[in-house]
Amino acid sequence: MKKLNLGLWVFIIIGVGILCIPIPVGVRVILFLSFILSFLFYRRNILYFLNGNRILRNGKDENCWPWFERALKAHIAADGQVSIGSMYVQYGDMARGKKILEEYLSEPKKKANANLDSIAKIILALVVKCEGNEEKAIEMLQVVKASGYKNISLSLDLITLYLDLNEIDKAKAEWEEVKDQEGQNIALDSCYGRLLLVTGEYQKAYELFSDLVKKPARLVSTFVHCAQCFIHFGQVKEALSALQVASKCVFNHTSPFTKETVEGMYLALKDPKTRIATAKAMDRNIDVIARGGAFTPIENSYPPCDADRLEGFDTLRPKIERKQKAERLPNTEITEEDETYLKTHHIEETK
């Protein structure tokens, strides 16, 4: 059981104390209700934030922002301020989110919070990336990394940016630093799959993405990369399925993919008249599609085709199952890292 924080204990003690005062019941009720209303007014910033967050989760983006603004006006705590800035950057007015985060970083703080500062700087780096300055974004992220801050999101963003700039060796170097966490974060696994694709390790990418599509998490990038991988082996049916899921995922401003791009690729691949031309264009522009760019279709001089398997593409080799040596028993001891992962793994189970 989690310990109750000091503020909640004080609230409970005062509330009970009011109810125990030897005065008429009517007066006691009035005092207690007045206390409750005063407490709610004092903590209204959190209520505003929670309501805005609820509305955003329900998909009504346009209705959540007034609540977040009320929370900011009521001086919500620093972590709430950074969270609101992040949500503006991803789903609302990016310029407004940038301003909120910059204001947070520039404000004098009673107590320094290095981790929260680093999170704000990482989000600002994504804004700079979206503004078209990838090199500046990398510089900002490297400053955060040099400060000693370690986080999967930081590594993921650096790998992604290096891949966007086609700096494969640097992307590999970043991956080497976090590869021990493969299998613990689907976004990181998907990014690694992209690295495999652009370096021509299609067999490994296929095996990885065949597992990722079975997981409950739904990320646009994962399913677009899945589709690319399947197309390389001429598997149209699987690619269409992956693109269909991708089109139904949640899109945000910091993602390089747009709903229009994904749906356009799906429709072009689904149409028998453009199926072969689209598949060949997708396979010849792996890196362009992987970073969210629009590929140039190959001249449509191919006959109509409705086959789920296309000829002339790479051949998939049977997966080799690695057998564990009999004398080597699995380690069943639960470590501290395992416990932390089990407690936080639900974060990845997005619908």
**What is the C-alpha separation between 240 and 255, in angstroms, rounded?**
21
3 state SS for the chain: CCCCCHHHHHHHHHHHHHHHCCCCHHHHHHHHHHHHHHHHHHCHHHHHHHHHHHHHHCCCHHHHHHHHHHHHHCCCCHHHHHHHHHHHHHHCCHHHHHHHHHHHHHCCCCCCCHHHHHHHHHHHHHHHHHCCCHHHHHHHHHHHHHCCCCCHHHHHHHHHHHHHCCCHHHHHHHHHHHHHHCCCCHHHHHHHHHHHHHCCCHHHHHHHHHHHCCCCCCCHHHHHHHHHHHHHCCEHHHHHHHHHHHHCCCCCCCCCCCHHHHHHHHHHHHCCCCHHHHHHHHHHCHHHHHCCCCCCCCCCCCCCCCCCECCCCCCCCCCCCCCCCCCCCCCCCCCHHHHHHHHHHHHHCCC
Q: Which residue has the higher pLDDT, 22 or 316?
A: 316
Cα–Cα distance for residue pair 242/249, rounded to 1 Å: 11
Cα angle: 321, vertex 326, 331; to 5 degrees: 90
Mean pLDDT score, 218-246: 94
C-beta neighbour count of 168 within 10 angstroms? 14
Residue 235: predicted pLDDT: 95
Burial of 199 (0-12, 13-18, 19+ CB in 10 A): middle
Residue 35 confidence (pLDDT):
44
Query: Of the segments 45-54, 221-230, 318-327, which one has the largest average pLDDT value?
Result: 221-230
Q: Tell me the per-residue pLDDT of 86-106, one tens digit each, with 9 for 90 and over.
A: 999 999 999 999 999 999 999
Residues facing residue 235 across a β-bridge: 309
Query: Is the Cα dihedral 269, 275, 278, 280 positive or negative?
Result: positive
Highest mean pLDDT, choosing among 4-8, 270-274, 294-298: 270-274
Counting Cβ atoms within 10 Å, is residue 210 exposed (0-12), middle (13-18) or buried (19+)? middle
What was the pLDDT predicted at 124? 96
Nearest-5° Cα angle at 45, 42 to 49: 150
By the 8 A CB rule, do 68 and 88 touch? yes
Q: Which of 231-235, 251-255, 342-346 has the lowest mean pLDDT?
A: 342-346
pLDDT (average), residues 257-268: 93
pLDDT at position 47, please?
78
Question: One-letter amino acid identity for 282?
Answer: M
Write the CB contacts of 53 (distance below 8 Å, at least 6 apart in sequence). 64, 87
Q: What amino acid is encoded at 224 in this protein?
A: V
Over pLDDT 70: what percentage of the chain?
A: 76
Whole-Å CA distances, 148 to 39, 55, 143, 234: 39, 36, 9, 45
Instruction: Indicate if the pLDDT at residue 186 is higher than 50.
Output: yes
Query: How do the domains of the chain map onto residue ranges?
Result: 182-317
- Asked whether the beta carbons of 126 and 98 are under 8 A apart, the reply is no
Other C-beta atoms within 10 Å of 139: how many? 12
Which position has the higher pLDDT, 60 or 3? 60
Examine the pLDDT at 193 and tell me if it is beyond 50.
yes
Which class in CATH covers the domain with range 182-317?
mainly alpha
Identity of the highest mean pLDDT range in 3-7, 191-195, 319-323, 336-340:
191-195
- Per-residue pLDDT, 24: 59
Residue type at 218? Answer: R
Q: Is the pLDDT of residue 25 over 70?
A: no
CA angle (315, 319, 324) in 5-degree steps: 160
> Which distant-in-sequence residues (6+ apart) come within 8 Å of 9 by Cβ?
none
pTM, rounded to two decimals: 0.77
Whether 15 has a pLDDT exceeding 60, the answer reads no
What pLDDT is stored for residue 18 in this prediction? 47
pLDDT at 344 over 60: no
Per-residue pLDDT of 150-173, as tens digits, reads: 889 999 999 999 999 999 999 999
For the residues 122-140, what does the mean pLDDT come to?
95
pLDDT band of 243, cuts 50, 70, 90: very high
CA distance 226 to 72: 40
59 or 40, greater pLDDT: 59
